[in-house]
Amino acid sequence: MRYVITYVVFLCTFLSYSQERETSLDTIYLTAEKLEDKSVGQPIIKINKELLANYRPQLTEVLQFETPIHFKENGFGMVSSASFRGTTAQQTAVVWNGININSTFLGQTDFSLINTQNLSEVLVRPGGGSTQFGTGAIGGVVYLNNILETNQENTHDIRTSYGSFNTKNLSTNHTISGEKTSLQIGASYLDSDNDYNYPNTDKYNENGQFYNVNASVNGIYKPNAKNTFKVYSNWFTSDRHLSIVETSQTRNKYSDAHLRVLGEYQHQSGKKQSTLKLALINEKYRFYPKLDSREGSNNGNGWTYIAKYNYQINYKKLLLNIGGEYNLATATGTNYDNVKRNTGSANLYLKHQLAKNFTYQATLRGELSEDYKSPLLFSVGTKWQPISEYALNASISKNYRIPTFNDLYWPGAENPNLKAESSLQYELSNEFTFENLKLVFTGYYNDIDDLIRWLPYSGDLWRPVNTNSVASYGLESTINYGFKLNKHHFNINALYSYTVSKNKETDFQLTYVPYHKATLGLSYKINRFSARLNTLYTGEVYTYTDNNPDTVLDNFSLTNLSAYYAFGKKDHWIIGAGINNLFNNDYKTMAYRPMPGINYHINLTLKL
């Protein structure tokens, strides 16, 4: 760790003293409307709708190639869990339009169940975020956003695709906008036999078929300049057969469904603003141990009710936000006897432009729950920009993760005495911005205590306990360069992350955390034709806690290639094709779970 700190401090000192010219920066009118506005000291990776369209609809793929997040997949289309900055799957918060949607059962999100085709953008912020989004935001935050604005152009998009393994996808998105209103309607369907051959073997992915349906309706009504009403809704259902490794294994499947509804009212009066959000989230699952069984042997049905209120005062160089949140989570099912959890929190947020080239923010969050004790959370972030081409960002934050319903109530293994996980994180980044080039170099250190792990305690029985402390630290760098030669447009983006995440007691690297990850994206466009090449490298990972070298998953690289051509009146039609795993590499992200070799897809889009 001392090498990381020495490197960052040296780089910051060198840059501070090597630049002698001063820059006059315009006064900023402070805001806190968007994630970017409340992320002083923390760089953000932004993935817009156009970039999302270059990937298959599961969120896993786009994040795998565009962010430092590593994913562990039980095969294509199967369960996909994240490791962000060396943390566990439960320590990445997934936020939908400002609401934390991690499962109350498992405390995590299955990224293969997040469909990107009805989203406006995806924002990824590495580092702690519990003061804003609550439990789970230790490794980072994945923010799913639907942008609602009035006076927009009416659009109607229909997209269909067909690919290897009899994979079919159909999606439609419509925006109808007026002077005071706007309505977004979207729906998508994804279906696959998913029977890909395992590279370099005579086996194939058995019992891997899946389908899912996703629909969303979002709207905004703005009767005047002072009042704004917004509604967001999303419904999703999925049926997945669970891939088997050996033919002799019993074939089974898993069904998921969720419903999310969010209402928002905002009142603006001069420099004062009030925002009220009311949300309802329902998640269901059912496991079928045998395909011919009508009733699942294991099921759960959870409801979460959320109320959030924020009051904001803005005095140009100073912004103050006072807020509160109430959360009621309930669950019934095979392993849950009408359990519930009440949680209340209050937060205080301050953002201040202290000088033309220096801005800072500070947040405090206190939380009360009947099930656990939560630490007082805080975060402080700063941005110093001595010249227009360079900025130094720094942040420190206290974050946490609460025990899940499975941790607290699973019959025979329940542990009501669990403490919330906590972490203290430090981060420093150097940001260089030129006309066509942007570079960001970040160093971080994360100290995690009371990590919740399921360990054997009696024979074959396992139970969750607070055990280890973990030190996670590393370096992240991103480069984006775009340029134009006559009618030819080029863009190059690259990412590299080095991650160490070790159990302090054993000094072993955590399982499924690669030391190295790198991505490279090349895009080209001329007139109606565009093409994109993406490459991913992932270093080896340990699959056992003792770091046995005989059980590591080898490093691997992936290359995807896609091309598009627009035609017809006003380029209404777009035809595209793609090749995934171009060099047919054999790789796994989960032990005993091979991923597909080379595969193809074609797509057709109609824009009106």
DSSP type of residue 149: -
pLDDT for position 374 = 77
Mean pLDDT of 526-554: 95
Q: Is the pLDDT of residue 373 over 90?
A: no
pLDDT band per the 50, 70, 90 thresholds, residue 458 = low
Per-chain mean pLDDT for the chain: 90
372 CB-contact burial (10 Å; exposed 0-12 / middle 13-18 / buried 19+): buried
pLDDT for position 406 = 87
Q: Is the pLDDT of residue 512 over 80?
A: yes
Residues 6+ apart with CB under 8 A from 316: 27, 29, 30, 353
pLDDT for position 417 = 84
Q: Is the pLDDT of residue 287 over 70?
A: yes
Closest C-alpha among 545, 541, 520, 544 to residue 532: 520
Q: Does residue 71 contact residue 89 with C-beta atoms inside 8 Å?
A: no
pLDDT for position 338 = 86
Q: Is the pLDDT of residue 1 over 90?
A: no
Map residue 273 onto helix, strand or coil. strand
Closest C-alpha among 589, 567, 575, 573 to residue 514: 589
Q: Does residue 271 contact residue 315 with C-beta atoms inside 8 Å?
A: yes
> Cα angle at 224 between 223 and 227, to 5 degrees?
80
pLDDT band per the 50, 70, 90 thresholds, residue 31 = very low
pLDDT band per the 50, 70, 90 thresholds, residue 26 = very low
Q: Does residue 157 contact residue 186 with C-beta atoms inside 8 Å?
A: no
The pLDDT tens digits for 183-218 are: 999 999 999 999 999 988 889 999 999 999 999 999
pLDDT band per the 50, 70, 90 thresholds, residue 425 = very high
Mean pLDDT of 309-330: 94
pLDDT for position 419 = 87
pLDDT for position 431 = 97
The pLDDT tens digits for 394-407 are: 999 999 998 888 88
Which one has a higher pLDDT value, 513 or 33? 513
Q: For residue 412, is it left (φ>0), alpha (ψ between -120 and 50) or beta?
A: left
pLDDT band per the 50, 70, 90 thresholds, residue 555 = very high
pLDDT band per the 50, 70, 90 thresholds, residue 445 = very high
The pLDDT tens digits for 325-341 are: 999 999 999 888 888 99
139 CB-contact burial (10 Å; exposed 0-12 / middle 13-18 / buried 19+): buried
Beta bridge partners of 553: 541
Percent of the chain at pLDDT > 70 equals 93
Closest C-alpha among 472, 521, 474 to residue 495: 521
Q: Is the pLDDT of residue 15 over 70?
A: no
Mean pLDDT of 510-524: 97
Which pairing describes strands 140-145 and 461-466: parallel, antiparallel, or unpaired? unpaired
Residue recorded with tokens 């669950």: 331
Residue 91 phi/psi, 5-degree rounding, is -105, 15
DSSP string, 285-310: EEEESSTT-SS-SEEEEEEEEEEEEE
pLDDT for position 459 = 65
Q: Which amino acid is at 30?
A: L
pLDDT for position 315 = 87
Q: Is the pLDDT of residue 359 over 90?
A: yes
Domains of the chain: 2-169+329-607 (2.40.170.20)
pLDDT for position 297 = 76
Maximum average pLDDT range among 250-254, 276-280, 460-464: 276-280
Closest C-alpha among 581, 574, 580 to residue 525: 574
Q: Is the pLDDT of residue 460 over 90?
A: no
Q: Is the pLDDT of residue 292 over 90?
A: no
Residue 311 phi/psi, 5-degree rounding, is -120, 125
pLDDT for position 277 = 98
> The tokens of 536 are what?
């991913």
Closest C-alpha among 247, 243, 254 to residue 195: 243
Element (H, E) at 407: helix 405-409
pLDDT for position 296 = 65
Percent of the chain at pLDDT > 90 equals 77
Mean pLDDT of 314-328: 94
Mean pLDDT of 227-234: 98
Mean pLDDT of 583-594: 94
Closest C-alpha among 280, 400, 278, 257 to residue 330: 280
pLDDT for position 208 = 94
Map residue 44 onto helix, strand or coil. coil
